[in-house]
Amino acid sequence: MEQKDTEMNDRGVPSSGSGVVVQVREKKGPLRAAIPYMPFPVAVVCLFLNTFVPGLGTFVSAFTVLCGARTDLPDRHVCCVFWLNVAAAFIQILTAIVMVGWIMSIFWGMDMVILASKCHPVPLRKMA
């Protein structure tokens, strides 16, 4: 009988050195996929607005969709994506009373900044 030596990873599962690449994709719901890819400064302003007035930054971001910002919903009409963002802002405003909307609003703003940094990376300046 021939025995093959395998390495054990940190969870105790045998691993082979074959170099298998696993790709993970996040499945987004329609509200989350409607978050627009905005320029970085606009996304930071929306995060700031969402932090202090829940839903306001999300409402402002809805208008960036009308100005041509792309989203992860390319098959939907611009007006539909606009109304999805307005609905998200409305949900954040209504549920801010019980803190859920305020937390959701802050996370929404953080997602806007993350998407903006992926789409429009901030250039690094050299210090003289």
94-115: pLDDT as tens digits: 999 999 999 999 999 999 999 9
Judge whether 125 lies within some domain: no
Q: Report whether 112 contacts 57 (CB < 8 A).
A: yes
Q: Is residue 3 part of a domain?
A: no
Question: How would you label 79-97 residue by residue, b for 16+ Cβ within 10 Å and e otherwise?
Answer: eebbbbbbebbebbbebbe
User: Is residue 102 in some structural domain?
Assistant: yes
pLDDT tens per residue across span 74-89: 888 899 999 999 999 9
The whole-angstrom separation of Cα 83 and Cα 87 is 6
Tens digit of each residue's pLDDT (9 = 90 or more) over 39-50 = 999 999 999 999
Q: What is the pLDDT of residue 42?
A: 93
CA proximity to 44, closest of 61, 28, 27 = 61
21 in a structural domain: no
Lowest mean pLDDT among 7-16, 24-33, 111-120: 7-16
Distance from chain centroid for Cα 12 = 34
* Cβ atoms of 101 and 55 closer than 8 Å: yes
Position 12 scores a pLDDT of: 55
Among 17-21, 32-36, 41-45, the minimum mean pLDDT is found in 17-21
- Domain holding 59, by residue range, is 30-119
Question: Based on the structure, what is the number of domains in the chain?
Answer: 1
**What number of CA atoms fall less than 13 Å from residue 110's CA on the CB side?**
6
- Identify whether 7 is part of a domain: no
